[in-house]
């Protein structure tokens, strides 16, 4: 499957490739978690099943420190796909390298 699709003749191509046909790819971690609100009278204080959430979080390194950002469920789904694409691309690169680096083209001259 191609990564991009050429627009039809006469079609306005302003930013269309970026918005519709680019597969998102991201090296990141995302997680789903529940939280305790801190109110001792809230159900979440005693019952783990009554904790608030789930909340989706994106963890990333910036300036050597780990940061977390809360995502909407829609953003979390897009991020899940982008992380999956990143891992798939990385796996493809490893496979490509394994196949081509063992080629006789790189044998030391005798």
- Binders in 35-64 for Zn ion, by CB under 5 A: 37, 42, 44
Q: Which is nearer to Zn ion, 34 or 102 (CB)?
A: 34
Q: Judged by CB under 5 A, does residue 5 bind Zn ion? A: no
**Min separation Cβ 46 and Zn ion, Å:** 10
Q: Which is nearer to Zn ion, 42 or 81 (CB)?
A: 42
Residue 5 contacts residue 19 (beta carbons within 8 Å): no
* DSSP per position, 40-102: TTSGGGT-GGG-EEEEEEEEEEETTEEEEEEE-HHHHHHHHHHHHHHHHHHHHHHHHHHHHHT
By CB under 5 A, name the binding residues for Zn ion: 37, 42, 44
């Amino acid at each position: 499957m191609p990564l991009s699709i050429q627009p039809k003749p006469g079609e306005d191509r302003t930013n269309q490739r970026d918005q519709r046909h680019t597969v998102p790819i991201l090296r990141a971690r995302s997680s789903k978690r529940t939280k305790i609100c801190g109110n001792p009278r809230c159900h979440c204080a005693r019952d783990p099943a009554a904790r608030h959430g789930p909340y989706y979080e994106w963890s990333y390194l910036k300036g050597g420190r780990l940061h977390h950002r809360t995502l909407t469920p829609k953003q979390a789904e897009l991020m899940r796909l982008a992380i999956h694409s990143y891992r798939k691309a990385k796996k493809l690169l490893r496979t490509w390298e394994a196949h081509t680096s063992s080629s006789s083209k790189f044998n030391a001259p005798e």
